[in-house]
Amino acid sequence: MRPISLVYIAVICGILLLASDLQAGALESRYAAIVYSNESQLREFNSGVSIGGGGVTMHDEAKNKVDAVVERVMMVLEMYVRNFRFRIVLLSSASEVRRVYRSKYGRDVNFISFYSPGEKTVYLSVDDANNRIFGHEVAHAVIDGYFKVPPSVKIHEMLAKYAERNL
């Protein structure tokens, strides 16, 4: 093999490795670990959620938005959780959300997002991400973190809807 061919192969391999590293990732905000499988998910999340924001990079903007929504939800519910941490998994579509829910709980649902209390994780379709939907799921996480004994499902949902409407 000629040396020039080896250079081309090395360059292509390097580009592929770099591209794969830039695709999937995780960000750490004050309150959450934000997990995404590609940069377009993060971009779509940023365009759908408008509370908070700002920052030098798209990553900073996403972290600032998450923290602003969490703080707003805590304020609306008057539930301030010490050392609050949870995870957010961004998914590309509602069908992905439903697939994840089915794999975890063995039931078919028509959700575009959900909060898993056992994992302390919000699963969110970026196709459907907006202030209300994201705030609703964050409210479930805050409520879960606030109470030592969780309220009933109906009360949980009622409080989450209250937070969603009052963001």
Residue 109 resides in a domain: yes
CB atoms inside a 10 Å sphere around CB 18: 10
Residue 80 is part of which domain span?
24-165
How high is the pLDDT of residue 54?
84
How high is the pLDDT of residue 23?
63
User: Which backbone phi and psi does 53 adopt, to 5 degrees?
Assistant: 110, -160
CB-based burial of residue 103 (10 Å sphere; 0-12 exposed, 13-18 middle, 19+ buried)?
exposed
**CATH number for position 74:** 3.40.390
For strands 86-91 and 25-28, give the pairing: unpaired
How high is the pLDDT of residue 6?
41
Single-letter code of the amino acid located at 9: I
Count of domains observed in the chain: 1
Q: Do 121 and 85 contact (CB within 8 A), yes or no? A: no
Residue 6 resides in a domain: no
Residue 3 resides in a domain: no
Please list the pLDDT of the chain residue by residue as tens digits (167 residues).
555 544 444 444 444 434 433 468 999 999 999 999 999 999 999 999 999 988 889 999 999 999 999 999 999 999 999 999 999 999 999 999 999 999 999 999 999 999 999 999 999 999 999 999 999 999 999 999 999 999 999 999 999 999 999 99
Predicted TM-score (pTM) of this structure? 0.85
